[in-house]
């Protein structure tokens, strides 16, 4: 695909369809992508229109745009050309270039920060992996790769405000809430091991080393993002929770049920040191390594237990544990869904 006169790789399946149809996919997808953007905006609006979201927006408005000097644009802003024509892919590419800020020269995952699967499919394509495979097989495998990197793609899109569109013209598994840092760690370790599993199962020995190096780069790339990551709503939740705790009045929040206010105040009192995160990360990494080798579903349950013990400070309060697990339901459902798809096809 050519964008602004330059060739831009959007995947093997897209390239094949382009060649067959003799048209630029962006033209045929413009209307659909416009609908996707509208849906994405509704998701963002629903977050920002919540009472916590309003407070967050108000705080940002008071502070002004951080690091937005004269002549600079926000990463998430969409500028409409005078002609009124919206070139969605060109906007996406420009946003990605702004976020990358030259770092793509030494880390290729900055070339596609919200489509990191493209780097893996490009490597496979260059080494003949897709030769003699049907279009449908290619499509399904690239969708699987996209599913695997989905958590990190989604996190990066939110962290750098680059939107939710991927180059397949669809949402990354639909609207999802912001992940906590602990969830992001689990998501990264799961995806790293999933990619390693596929490499071991499907690639010839001469291709495994190069693919493994790409996985290592993917992991280090996302480790840096996670280390700096902060869920923007957690600060507000903590402030509200501490306020409720100070009053010792779980009826104090008219916006929340009594039980939710109670658990929010319990959550607000829990803080974690960098050392605690490192120990948690090490434990999660070890469990996914074991799962990669054995595919024992009991290990996925162990991952959840490690997560819950970490985020609840090892409480035995079943209701509070259930409350915290429900908040992470989307992340762990996605992890389980990914592995189910992989193992059904390649076990």
**Position with higher pLDDT, 35 vs 208:** 208
Q: For residue range 180-198, list pLDDT tens digits in order.
A: 999 999 999 999 999 999 9
Ranking 25-34, 88-97, 157-166 by mean pLDDT, the lowest is: 25-34
**Position with higher pLDDT, 342 vs 93:** 342
Ranking 90-99, 109-118, 162-171, 216-225 by mean pLDDT, the lowest is: 162-171
Highest mean pLDDT among 5-9, 37-41, 316-320: 316-320
**Position with higher pLDDT, 55 vs 121:** 121
User: Is the pLDDT assigned to residue 258 strictly greater than 80?
Assistant: no
**Position with higher pLDDT, 347 vs 24:** 347
User: Percent of the chain beyond pLDDT 90?
Assistant: 49
b/e 39-75 (16+ beta carbons within 10 angstroms → b): ebeeebeebeeeebbeebeeeeeeeeeeeeeeeeeeb
| Stretch 85-112: mean pLDDT | 79
Ranking 77-91, 238-252, 291-305 by mean pLDDT, the lowest is: 77-91
* pLDDT, position 35: 64
User: Is the pLDDT assigned to residue 122 strictly greater than 80?
Assistant: yes
Q: For residue range 94-103, list pLDDT tens digits in order.
A: 777 888 888 9
pLDDT band at 174 (very low <50, low <70, confident <90, very high): very low
């Amino acid at each position: 695909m050519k964008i602004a006169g330059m060739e831009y790789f959007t995947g093997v399946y897209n390239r094949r369809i382009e060649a067959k149809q003799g048209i630029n996919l962006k033209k045929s997808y413009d209307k659909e992508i416009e609908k996707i953007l509208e849906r994405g905006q509704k998701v963002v609006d629903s977050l920002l229109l919540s009472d916590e979201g309003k407070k967050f927006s108000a705080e940002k408005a008071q502070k002004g745009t951080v690091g937005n000097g004269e002549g600079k644009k926000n990463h998430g802003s969409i500028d409409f050309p005078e002609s009124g024509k919206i070139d969605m892919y060109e906007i996406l590419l420009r946003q990605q270039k702004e976020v990358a800020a030259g770092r793509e020269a030494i880390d290729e995952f900055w070339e596609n920060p919200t489509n990191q699967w493209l780097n893996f499919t490009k490597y496979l394509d260059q080494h003949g992996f897709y030769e003699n495979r049907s279009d449908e097989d290619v499509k399904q495998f690239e969708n699987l790769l996209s599913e695997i990197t989905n958590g990190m793609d989604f996190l990066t899109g939110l962290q750098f405000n680059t939107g939710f569109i991927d180059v397949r013209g669809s949402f990354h598994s639909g609207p999802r809430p912001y992940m906590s840092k602990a969830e992001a760690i689990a998501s990264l370790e799961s995806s790293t091991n999933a990619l390693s599993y596929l490499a071991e199962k499907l690639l010839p020995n001469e291709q495994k080393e190069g693919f493994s190096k790409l996985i290592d780069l993917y992991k280090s790339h996302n480790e840096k993002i996670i280390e700096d990551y902060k869920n923007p709503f957690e600060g507000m939740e903590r402030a509200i929770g501490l306020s409720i705790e100070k009053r010792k009045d779980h009826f104090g929040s008219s916006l929340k049920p009594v039980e939710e206010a109670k658990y929010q105040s319990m959550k607000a009192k829990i803080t974690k040191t960098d050392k605690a995160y490192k120990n948690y990360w090490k434990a999660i990494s070890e469990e996914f390594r074991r799962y990669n080798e054995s595919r024992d579903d009991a290990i996925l349950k162990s991952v959840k237990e490690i997560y819950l013990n970490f985020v609840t400070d090892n409480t035995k309060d079943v209701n509070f544990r259930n409350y915290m697990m429900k908040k992470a339901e989307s992340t762990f459902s996605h992890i389980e869904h990914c592995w189910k798809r992989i193992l059904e096809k390649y076990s």
